[in-house]
Amino acid sequence: MKMRVLFLLVTLVLSACGGGGSESNTPTTSPQPPTSNENTNNANTANSSTPTSPSNEPSDDTADQNSSDDLADAQNISTSPVVDIRLPGDVVRKGSVITIDSVIEGSTEGLSFAWVQISGPTVTLAGADSASLTVTLPSANSISNESYTFALTVTDNAGMSTYTETSIESVNAMTELQASALMQQATLGATYAEIQSASGMSESEWLDQQIALTPTLHTPLLENYPDRDNPSHINRIDAWWKASLNAPDQLRQRVAFALSEIFVVSDANTALRGEPEGMVAYYDMLLKHAFGNFRTLLESVTLSPAMGVYLSHLGNEKANAELNIRPDENYAREVMQLFTIGLNELNLDGTVKLDADGNTIPTYSQTEIAGFAKVFTGWTFAYSARWDRPSRNYTLPMHAFADYHSMEEKPLLGGEIIPKNTGPHESMQLALDNLFAHSNVAPFISKQLIQRLVKSNPTQAYIARVATIFNDNGEGVKGDLGAVIKAILLDEEARKYSSVQLHSGKIKEPILVKLHLWRVLNARSELNRYYTWNLTTAYGQGPLLSPSVFNFFRPDHQPNELQALGLVAPELQIATDSNMISTINGHYGDLVWRMAERKTTLNPNTIYMYAQADIEMLTNNGLQPLLDYYDLVYFAGSMSDTTRTALVDLDSYFMNRDASLRVAQLLYMISLSPDFNYQN
């Protein structure tokens, strides 16, 4: 400021002496504000002022400012106002009302203000002629953030003006219903507390938060029976329940469950039945790579001893004609058909490519199967003393014995050939790179993940959008599963902000229906054990309990009723008469027989449902508030009028019974309702 005063004094002296030319240095007193947007700043930062007369550096030195003002007044020199803009400090949410303040250096006496919106969706402005602007932002109508630019012109009583711009970016703030809808797709069944915690956040924020959470692994939860030295099969199931019910990283748990139905390993009536540590290690591997790179996941699956035993490439030997040995082709076939590329060439949108004659184009032949079978020779358990003395360590990736690996040429996809004398490690890398590079991988895997998380019948455009992210996450990386999962769950067909799809949603898997109920009702036993026998008999499925490598159901399963519409409903493949009856009975046992509040004493080994909050809500507030709560936590707002009416009618039948039985019967009917069993 002192320098500015000195500058003005020197200017006056030069002017008096005739120096500096004949033009007057007095600035224009009535300039017009600029119209350019060149000074627009990034979101939530205000621009420096753009005065229409020579600008003055802002200062905290009040005395110097007063001296400068006095000198300017004395010489009839006007200076434009020094203006800044202060934005709301917090994240700006769609649908909110915010205040943007002007910050004026010095006195505000005699100043006039003019705010205008320069860009962005139309908003409601209040106080456009005052020092502070009140902006009412529109509610969310898309998943994307929205950017706005506002301009402020401040004019003093001498007609001198300062023009400045600022930009903000608004993000979504999920309602409880929107949070519940997202979490139906992205969790194993959200509790009311989890829905409340997510509401107010944007969908992307919640997903990023979930992806950043440390994986809740199952191995630390694997416990022995009391007085047993080693865990058994039921202890593996117990560990799965404990993680699924209680883990905070619900998105990871849901995605790992989906991956377990693509990269299928099962201990249902197999040699793996007695290897609970190995099965839990396999599931943990899926958890660790759920948001990692698909290529890394594929390699981990390939080298898993559980997969090696299940699809018989562990202990697979090179050809030996004298001993009638030839490489096992099981994994070679399934890694292509089920785990990466499928049977036929695909377009990016998942549709089948056709040749000139209108026929489908196979992705591989027996030649490629034989080539990949040679790749998967020479691998066995880690730290085995010898090939014929395997360690049987099911928790570590397989190791290779080069002497048992085929050194012959290995034809791969697209005419690529691994040359002779290539060892097991290099052959494995080349083969998996070859699979990963195939154009089918993106649409083939993307579609199945969409089906497991969001909807059974995604549009071609939806598949193409996700497959595009699979091929390039925006930073040149292919196979980024974290980016793929976000693309699936943030897509318009998943969130449905601005469009309604004719065929949306999916049938809920029976085990996920059970999980949802158990999570909301805080199911537990006093001894913290979840021994659930015969899940496949009661619900048609269970974790890592598929009857074959083709999962419990095929992704292209088409019930007769849907054939004319060309639609699929994979989960209905296990909706057999016997399974449906068993599932109904299972829900009745859980919700009516084993509601803790209906018991006078509790068996410490039995898993009970806890519905005290529901009972109190019914007792204190009546039926309709309780149904509103159920609409939120179980239906994500999709409870139909028909279902609500049925629940009201049911409760009227039990009106004279105690509240715990009324709640139990309501929950049982919810478990059977079409609305609840359809994720939409």
- What pLDDT score does 568 carry? 97
176 touches 199 (CB < 8 A):
yes
Q: Which residue in 118, 117, 115, 137 sits closest to 128, CA to CA?
A: 115
- What pLDDT score does 500 carry? 66
226: which 2 tokens? 């009391």
Which whole-number Å values give the CA distances from 516 to 33, 187, 504, 513, 679, in the listed order?
60, 9, 20, 5, 12
536: which 2 tokens? 């496949």
Residue 214 scores a pLDDT above 90? yes
The pLDDT of 260-287, averaged and rounded, is 97
142: which 2 tokens? 């898309």
334 touches 301 (CB < 8 A):
no
Instruction: Tell me the per-residue pLDDT of 543-593, one tens digit each, with 9 for 90 and over.
Output: 999 999 999 999 999 999 999 999 999 999 999 999 999 999 999 999 999
Q: Within its chain, how far is the Cα of 38 from the centroid?
A: 37
Q: Which residues pair with 124 in a beta bridge?
A: 136
- Measured in degrees and rounded to the nearest 5, phi and psi for residue 246 equal -115, -15
The helix/strand/coil state of 46 is: strand
Instruction: Tell me the per-residue pLDDT of 569-581, one tens digit each, with 9 for 90 and over.
Output: 999 999 999 999 9
- What pLDDT score does 12 carry? 40
Which whole-number Å values give the CA distances from 550 to 237, 276, 620, in the listed order?
21, 21, 50
Name 512's Cβ contacts closer than 8 Å, sequence gap at least 6. 188, 189, 257
Instruction: Tell me the per-residue pLDDT of 326-372, one tens digit each, with 9 for 90 and over.
Output: 999 999 999 999 999 999 999 999 999 999 999 999 999 999 999 99
Instruction: Tell me the per-residue pLDDT of 495-535, one tens digit each, with 9 for 90 and over.
Output: 998 776 778 999 999 999 999 999 999 999 999 999 999 99
Which whole-number Å values give the CA distances from 263 to 217, 299, 300, 535, 555, in the listed order?
18, 12, 11, 20, 13
Residue 58 scores a pLDDT above 80? no
Q: What is the DSSP string of 333-356?
A: HHHHHTTTS-SB-B-TTSPBPB-T
Q: Which residue in 162, 78, 79 sits closest to 114, CA to CA?
A: 162
Residue 226's pLDDT band (cuts 50, 70, 90) = confident
Name 434's Cβ contacts closer than 8 Å, sequence gap at least 6. 412, 413, 414, 416
Q: With the C-alpha atoms ordered 176, 179, 185, 187, is the resulting torsion angle positive or negative?
A: negative
Which whole-number Å values give the CA distances from 390 to 20, 315, 373, 380, in the listed order?
96, 9, 21, 7
Instruction: Tell me the per-residue pLDDT of 311-330, one tens digit each, with 9 for 90 and over.
Output: 999 999 999 999 999 999 99
What dihedral angle (degrees, nearest 10) is formed by the CA atoms of 327, 333, 339, 343?
Answer: 160
Residue 195 scores a pLDDT above 80? yes
